[in-house]
Amino acid sequence: MLVDSHCHLDFPDLAEDLDEVVARAHRAGIGHMVTICTHVTRFERVLATARRFDTVDCTVGIHPHEAGTEPETSAETLVAMADDPKVIGFGETGLDFFYEHSPRAAQERSFREHIRAARVADLPVVVHTREADDDTVRILQDEARAGAFPGLIHCFSSGLDLAEKALELGFMISISGIVTFKKAEALRETVRAVPLDRLLVETDAPYLAPVPKRGKRNEPAFTALTAAVVAEVKGVTPDELATATTDNFYRLFTKARRPAAAAAAE
């Protein structure tokens, strides 16, 4: 079994045939999916999507792109929204200085509130970082001094330095379809260096479809294509990679429960 640790099943790109999207994922061996919240104002839609399927959970949070337009949301509010059994983490949050759709100060303020929620609830924070590695590390290290919190860097596309600093904080590293791209050798080198027990896999669907589906709509079933490349890079079998990344997922997302069929198979 594989877990797609990060997708957006509530997005319109997937909503029109969502039942079949989830069914295709199951047929491809994807036993669990996490649909990620990007707008706190759309959280109820995200939660409703998770509730439709036994094999789907969700997060609650505000994407850094939306930090300047979504309501300022406190850690206490995020924790209260995560009370539902289907909500297993916070985010995605973080910093994006590539597009700068939101002011940097708003992004940092929102990021810190998500981290504080993760610390209070002991649930992972899902971190997005683009062209902001130094500030991401600064905030993570600063917040860690106030107390540990679980988390991961999602859709990892940075260098080894960020990976090492995240690992020092106890974070996991989630790998998307970018690892399959021809020009992504630097990322593959980083994947080689990250311990197997700290890796997750994801799609970020409907974005970033892996080779040979690149350019098409991404969906959770394609997690298997990314996982195959990660297994090759790590020098392990696909089954070993699946077992490791799935175990890592449930070790990090402690509120998530293995689907009944997968648990029975074990």
Using CA atoms, how far residue 227 sits from 85, 102, 134, 156, 162, in Å, is 28, 33, 28, 14, 22
Q: Which of 109, 105, 113, 112 is nearest to 81 (CA)?
A: 113
Residue 122, marked binder: no
Residue 154, marked binder: yes
Q: Are 4 and 32 spatial neighbours (Cβ–Cβ below 8 Å)?
A: yes
Residue 8, marked binder: yes
Residue 6, marked binder: yes
Residue 83, marked binder: no
Q: Are 170 and 184 spatial neighbours (Cβ–Cβ below 8 Å)?
A: no
What is the spatial distance between Cα 32 and Cα 175, in angstroms, rounded to a whole number? 16
Cα Rg of the chain, angstroms = 17
264: which 2 tokens?
């029975």
Widest Cα–Cα separation across the chain: 48
Residue 92, marked binder: yes
- Binding-site sequence positions: 6, 8, 92, 128, 154, 204
- Binding-site sequence positions for a divalent metal cation: 6, 8, 92, 128, 154, 204
